């Protein structure tokens, strides 16, 4: 199985691997928020305005998101 990607602890977005593997993974929208591989429930949001899941998670941008991100 492929390595679990990181998710943003603030906006729940699934984050792509940085081009340079030495760079830290960081959310482009909330650069100061923690990121973690400890998350569950992959969901693709295509139309945030029409998605109940997007409303529940306060998602305003289309993209790939985790339903639950575990930040300690
Ligand atoms: Zn974020």
| CA 63 – ligand 1 centroid, Å | 11
List CB-based neighbours of ion ligand 1 within 5 Å: 8, 10-11, 27, 29-30
Rounded Cα gap, residues 72 and 55, in angstroms: 24
Select from 68, 64, 10, 59 the least CA-distant residue to 39: 68
Q: Look up the pTM and report it.
A: 0.87
End-to-end CA distance of the chain: 25
**Hey, what domains does the chain have and what are their CATH numbers?**
6-69 (2.20.28.90)
Dihedral angle sign, alpha carbons of residues 27, 31, 35, 40: negative
The two three-digit tokens of residue 32, written as one number = 């100061």
pLDDT tens string 2-54: 678 999 999 999 998 888 888 889 999 999 999 999 999 999 999 999 999 99
State in Å: Cα 30 to ligand 1 middle.
4
Closest-CA residue to 5 (of 42, 45, 54, 50): 42
């Amino acid at each position: 199985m492929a390595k679990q990607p990181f998710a943003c602890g603030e906006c729940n977005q699934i984050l792509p691997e940085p081009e340079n593997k030495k760079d830290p993974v960081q959310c482009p929208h909330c650069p100061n928020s923690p990121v973690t591989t400890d998350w569950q429930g992959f969901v693709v949001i295509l139309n945030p305005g029409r998605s109940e899941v997007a409303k529940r998670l306060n998602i305003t941008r289309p993209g790939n998101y985790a339903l639950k991100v575990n930040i300690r």
